[in-house]
Amino acid sequence: MTAGPRVAVTRLTLTRFRSYESLRLEVPPRSVVVTGPNGAGKTNLLEAISLLAPGRGLRGTRLAELERRGPPSVPDRDDPTGWAVAAELATASGVREVATGTADSGGERRQVRIDGRAVRPAALAAAVTLCWLTPAMDRLFIEGASGRRRFLDRCVFGFDPEHATRVGRYEQALRERTRLLRDGRGDDAWLSGLETILATTGVAIAAARRDLVERLSAAWAAAAGAFPVGELAVTGTVEDRLPGHAALEVEDELRRALAAGRAREAAGAPAPGPHRSDLEVRFRSAHRVMPAAMCSTGEQKALLIGLVLANAALLADDRGAAPVLLLDEVAAHLDPTRRAALYARLAALGGQAWLTGTDPELFRAIGDDATHLTLVAGRLA
């Protein structure tokens, strides 16, 4: 794959965000390496950038928890003013100004502006595409299915921003239906209306997941190299029925299954639907195929990096510009060969990557292909 147009964060301003009372950072439109000791604010910096995309960022934190609080010796104020993240983006079509935060809403509601105009958070997807990899994701293959569903849905958001709207509508309808059944308050018409929403949006969600998994599997297989290639599949009651069946037929089946299961769900049984699906990842080599959960820690890390890079390459081909990659502590556990391979893949991708680590020596091979910054206690040294 050849490098395409670059989308880059060239200016970042933080106000009362996490460990930062304020920070203004300007960089050229290329990759950025941020090093510093533990607790210096490196991950907080990446989290701020991640909030330039729809959703709750790379940590999934509640909005109110993002606001900076004073040190223990300084009592927290009773009138929080909220937090703000603003950025200048260099794009192929010109400079874009993006801002988000809760500074004007008392800390309770996220607001977004693009080029000075108030927009819905979902509109951020049109301004910049982000992918990230954090140490917390190292357990993706061995923990519960919910984390893998969130990972897969974030990948789908990059190609289809409306997927986020469908997932939100589905989850809201599921919560309301569950509450009505547990409280014994829902009449048939009310429940039927919610089950129709669950069936139509649920099948659309499952179909989007299946489509991306097929495309991502092909992109991953084509990117064989220093990082292992895996096999992907999304499994679930809805996803398993879609091949060979019309979407309307599967919608009717799900609607009937929901109606038939009301009594069981009122007693605590789970409802069927894509909220219980799973992303299966298997390691593939010339000698074996095995579930990612059974691989060594090193193999799992390499698999995850390969998957994220394959998704970034697919996004670059689909959208005509590589996504901005946020890679937190990604190089620390790689051997020199794989570190060099990672940096080569990032260069070939052609987009901007923000990489963090405690040891500057890990990034020496990147050289002048990146801007190198040092953070100490939340300040640029």
Q: Of 34-43, 85-94, 255-264, 279-288, where does mean pLDDT reach its minimum?
A: 279-288
What average pLDDT does the segment 11-31 reach?
Answer: 94
- Angle value at C-alpha 41, between 38 and 42, nearest 5 degrees: 80
Per-residue model confidence as pLDDT tens digits over 210-266: 999 999 999 998 887 788 889 999 999 999 999 999 999 999 999 999 999 999 999
Cβ-count burial of 237 within 10 angstroms (0-12 exposed, 13-18 middle, 19+ buried)? Answer: middle
- At residue 75, the pLDDT reads 47
How much of the chain exceeds pLDDT 70, in percent? 94
pLDDT at 287 over 80: no
User: E strand or H helix at 70, and its extent?
Assistant: none
168 CB contacts (<8 Å, ≥6 apart)?
none
- At residue 5, the pLDDT reads 62
Q: How many Cα atoms sit within 13 Å of 268 on the Cβ side? A: 0
pLDDT band at 73 (very low <50, low <70, confident <90, very high): very low
pLDDT at 14 over 60: yes
Cβ-count burial of 271 within 10 angstroms (0-12 exposed, 13-18 middle, 19+ buried)? Answer: buried
- At residue 107, the pLDDT reads 58
Per-residue model confidence as pLDDT tens digits over 84-97: 999 999 988 899 99
Quote the mean pLDDT of the chain.
90
- Angle value at C-alpha 124, between 121 and 126, nearest 5 degrees: 140
Alpha carbon distance 27, 58 (integer Å): 22
Q: Choose among 65, 86, 84: nearest CA to 76.
A: 65
pLDDT at 48 over 90: yes
38 CB contacts (<8 Å, ≥6 apart)?
358
What's this model's pTM, rounded to 2 decimal places?
Answer: 0.90
Alpha carbon distance 127, 86 (integer Å): 13
pLDDT band at 186 (very low <50, low <70, confident <90, very high): confident
State the sign of the Cα–Cα–Cα–Cα dihedral 259, 262, 263, 264: positive
DSSP of 164-222: HHHHHHHHHHHHHHHHHHHHT---HHHHHHHHHHHHHHHHHHHHHHHHHHHHHHHHHHT
Alpha carbon distance 51, 39 (integer Å): 20
What torsion do the CA atoms of 117, 112, 53, 325 make, to the nearest 10 degrees? Answer: 70
- Angle value at C-alpha 322, between 224 and 372, nearest 5 degrees: 95
